[in-house]
Amino acid sequence: MDLAILRDWFDRVDSARTGNITASQLKNALAVGNLDLPLSVVQQMIRMYDFDRNGTMSFEEFVALNQFLLKIQQAFADLERERGFLLHDEVNGALVKLGFSLDSPAFFTACESFDQKKNGKFRLDDFISLCVFLQSARNLFNSFDTSKQGRVTLDLNQFIYCTANCRI
């Protein structure tokens, strides 16, 4: 997306002209675009891209989030066939396109958690919520997998830190 368009959008959301937007401002702005995401998911989005760790989102951080969301939307659009939803096997295919390769137990557990209507049909907002969770979990995992072996060992304190930071 054009940076000028993103800047205009960001400035309209940043009505107080602080140079940053809050989770509730971002949630409301996304809702205008028909993305009804829980506040907890929007807060997680901000944490993912809050590079300066101030709890809000600057324009530069918003641009990074937007790139992530565009990839998710494209993966969704490639498989939804104008139905407005993905079925489980299509969700898996879209996740693979995004670089998330989960085994069956992890995939079905994650799907169960983010299938809001429990009908096996993932709308875009469900899929975004799932991807935000998976990316946050991957980021947190990678911070402990310093040797890049794909395995980590955690003590109780580290486990508590992980569960507290990966909440959605």
Specify the CATH number for the domain of residue 108. Answer: 1.10.238.10
Q: What is the rounded CA–CA span in Å between residue 31 and residue 7?
A: 18
Q: pLDDT tens-digit profile of 66-116?
A: 999 999 999 999 999 889 999 999 999 999 999 999 999 999 999 998 888
Does the pLDDT at position 11 exceed 50?
yes
Q: What is the rounded CA–CA span in Å between residue 73 and residue 94?
A: 10
Q: Which domain holds residue 115?
A: 3-165
Q: pLDDT tens-digit profile of 113-153?
A: 888 888 989 999 999 999 999 998 898 888 888 888 888 88
Tokens of residue 71, six digits? 């990839």
Q: Do 20 and 43 touch, CB atoms closer than 8 A?
A: no
What does the pLDDT read at residue 115?
Answer: 87
Domain count, the chain: 1
* pLDDT confidence band for 168 (50 / 70 / 90): very low
* pLDDT confidence band for 64 (50 / 70 / 90): very high
Q: What is the rounded CA–CA span in Å between residue 163 and residue 30?
A: 27
Name which of 49, 39, 73, 25 is nearest 9 in CA terms. Answer: 25
pTM value is 0.87
